[in-house]
């Protein structure tokens, strides 16, 4: 269930980024807000976040907070993969190194 919550968060972020490109940022705050509320990808992204939040709450009720929080760090790896595969972003060696250290920390935490 925890991995499902993480994956839904990654999907939600991806949908919001894609949907955000369709919103017109010219004009006032109301124009932007209406743009957010009427863009299907943004609405769907928020729905994924909401569903992920409910699963997150369930996971928190079943496992230790420290466990849930550390395991959810795998989201960083998934987000980098999405950034590369969908948005064609360049990830520096330093960012990769940071992710490796995070994953080493998660593995050590789970083993300890």
pLDDT digits 0-9 by tens, 23-55: 888 888 998 889 889 999 999 999 999 999 999
pTM for this model (two decimals) = 0.85
CA distance 9 to 48: 7
How far apart CA 2 and CA 72 sit, in angstroms, is 7
pLDDT tens column, 59-105: 999 999 988 888 888 898 899 999 999 999 999 999 999 989 988 98
CA distances from 28 to 18, 25, 34, 66 (A): 21, 8, 10, 42
């Amino acid at each position: 269930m925890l991995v499902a919550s993480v994956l839904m968060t990654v999907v939600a972020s991806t949908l919001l980024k894609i949907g955000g490109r369709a919103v017109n940022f010219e004009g006032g705050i109301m124009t932007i807000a209406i743009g957010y509320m009427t863009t299907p990808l943004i609405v769907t992204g928020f729905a994924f976040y909401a569903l992920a939040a409910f699963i997150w709450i369930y996971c928190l009720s079943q496992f230790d907070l420290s466990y849930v929080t550390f395991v959810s760090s795998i989201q960083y790896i998934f987000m980098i993969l999405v950034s590369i595969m969908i948005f064609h972003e360049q990830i520096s060696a330093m960012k990769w190194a940071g992710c490796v250290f995070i994953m080493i920390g998660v593995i050590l935490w789970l083993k300890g």
